[in-house]
Chains A and B, each alone.
Chain A
Amino acid sequence: MIKFKHIRSRIAFTFLSVVVAIQLAGLIPLKYALVKHANELAEEQINVGERVFVNLLQHNTQSLKQATQVLAADYAFRDAVASNDAETIESALENYQGRIHAQIAFYISNSEDLVIGTANSEKAMFDLQASEDAKQAILHNQNGTLQFDIVEGKPYQLITVPVKAPDVIGWIVMGFAVDGRLADQIKQLTHLDVSFLQKTREHEWQLMSGTGTNRLSNVLVKTVSDIYRQRLSLHKVDLQGQTYQLKIRSLHETKDEVLLVVLQGSVAPFTRDLNTLFQNMVVLTFVGVLIFAALIWYVSRKTTEPIAELVKNADEIAMGNYEKEIHVNSIDEVGYLGKALNSMREAVLQRTLRIQRLAFNDELTGLSNRLALTQGLSQSITRHAETRQSLSVIVINIHRFKPINKTLGRDFGDDLLRHVGQVLKQNVLSGEDVVARLDADEFAVMLQHTDQAKATKYAEKVNRIFDTPVNVQGQAIDVRIAMGIALYPEHGVSEEELLNHAETALHESKVKKADWIVYNTALEIDQSETLTLISDLKEAIQKDQLLLYIQPKIDVKTRKTLGGEALIRWVHPEKGMIFPDQFIPFAEQTGIISEITNWMLQRACQVLADYRSQGLYMTLAVNLSTRDLNNMELPQQIEALLKTHRLDAKALKLEITEGSLMQDPERAETVVRKLASMGLHLAIDDFGTGYSSLAYLRQLPVQELKIDRSFVMFMDKNASDASIVKSTIDLAHNLGLTVVAEGIENEEVLGQLSKLGCNEGQGYFIGKPMPEKDFSIWLERWESQNEIDIDIGDDLSFAINPLDGFNSPT
Chain B
Amino acid sequence: MLTVVMRKLWVVSTMTFFGMAHADVTVIVLSASGNPVEDAVVVFYDGKTPASNPNAMGKIVQKNKMFNPKVTIVQTGTSINFPNEDSFRHHVYSFSPAKKFELKLYSGVAADPVLFNQAGLVTLGCNIHDSMVGYIYVVDTPFFAKTDDKGRAVIKLSDGQYSYQVLLPGVNKPVAEQKVKIEGATEVKVSIP
Contact = CB atoms under 8 A, between A and B. Distances in A.
Interface of A: 73, 75, 78-79, 81-83, 111, 164-167, 169
A166 B100 contact: no
Which interface residue of B93, B100, B124, B131 has the most chain A CB atoms within 10 A? B93
Contacts, number: 29
Contacts of B127: 75
29 contacts: A73-B130, A75-B93, A75-B127, A78-B95, A79-B95, A81-B95, A82-B95, A82-B96, A82-B100, A83-B95, A83-B100, A111-B172, A164-B125, A164-B130, A165-B95, A165-B123, A165-B125, A166-B123, A166-B124, A166-B125, A166-B126, A166-B130, A166-B131, A166-B132, A166-B133, A167-B123, A167-B133, A167-B170, A169-B95
B170 to A, nearest CB: 5
B: interface residue count bin: 10 to 19
Given A75-B127, A167-B123, A167-B170, 17 more contacts: A73-B130, A78-B95, A81-B95, A82-B95, A82-B100, A83-B95, A83-B100, A111-B172, A164-B125, A164-B130, A165-B95, A165-B123, A165-B125, A166-B123, A166-B124, A166-B133, A167-B133
Contacts of B170: 167
Contacts of A167: 123, 133, 170
Contacts of A169: 95
A111 B172 CA distance: 10
Nearest to A78: B95
Interface in B117-135: 123-127, 130-133
Interface in B80-116: 93, 95-96, 100
Q: 3 tightest CB-CB pairs across the interface, nearest first?
A: A82-B95, A166-B125, A165-B95
Contacts of B123: 165-167
Contacts of B126: 166
A164 B133 CA distance: 10
A73 B91 CA distance: 14
Nearest to A169: B95
Contacts of A78: 95
Interface string B146-163: 000000000000000000
Contacts of A82: 95-96, 100
A169 B131 CA distance: 15
A410 to B, nearest CB: 157
Interface in B157-180: 170, 172
Nearest to B173: A111
B26 to A, nearest CB: 29
B62 to A, nearest CB: 13
A166 B96 CA distance: 11
B51 to A, nearest CB: 25
A511 B119 CA distance: 190
Contacts of A75: 93, 127
Most buried by B among A78, A79, A81, A167: A167
A12 B1 CA distance: 109
A78 B125 CA distance: 12
B71 to A, nearest CB: 13
A166 B131 CA distance: 7
A470 to B, nearest CB: 165
Contacts of B96: 82
Contacts of B125: 164-166
A73 B130 CA distance: 9
Nearest to A82: B95
A122 to B, nearest CB: 27
Contacts of B130: 73, 164, 166
B125 to A, nearest CB: 4
A303 to B, nearest CB: 96
A75 B104 CA distance: 12
A164 B170 CA distance: 11
Nearest to A110: B172
Nearest to B133: A166
Nearest to A166: B125
Contacts of B132: 166
A60 B42 CA distance: 46
A165 B172 CA distance: 13
A82 B126 CA distance: 15
B37 to A, nearest CB: 17
A111 B123 CA distance: 16
Nearest to B96: A82
Nearest to A164: B130
A2 to B, nearest CB: 93
A33 to B, nearest CB: 59
* Residue among A78, A111, A165 facing the most chain B CB atoms (10 A cut-off): A165
A47 B172 CA distance: 49
Contacts of A111: 172
Nearest to A165: B95
A163 to B, nearest CB: 10
Max chain B CB contacts within 10 Å: which of A75, A111, A166? A166
Nearest to B93: A75
A167 B130 CA distance: 9
A632 B18 CA distance: 202
A153 B100 CA distance: 42
Contacts of B131: 166
A165 B124 CA distance: 8
A27 to B, nearest CB: 68
Contacts of A81: 95
Contacts of A164: 125, 130
B23 to A, nearest CB: 36
A568 B130 CA distance: 177
Nearest to B130: A166
Contacts of A166: 123-126, 130-133
B186 to A, nearest CB: 33
A164 B95 CA distance: 10
A796 B127 CA distance: 198
A81 B96 CA distance: 11
Contacts of B172: 111
A367 to B, nearest CB: 149
A164 B132 CA distance: 11
A82 B125 CA distance: 13
A79 B102 CA distance: 11
Contacts of A83: 95, 100
A538 B167 CA distance: 174
Nearest to A168: B170
B173 to A, nearest CB: 9
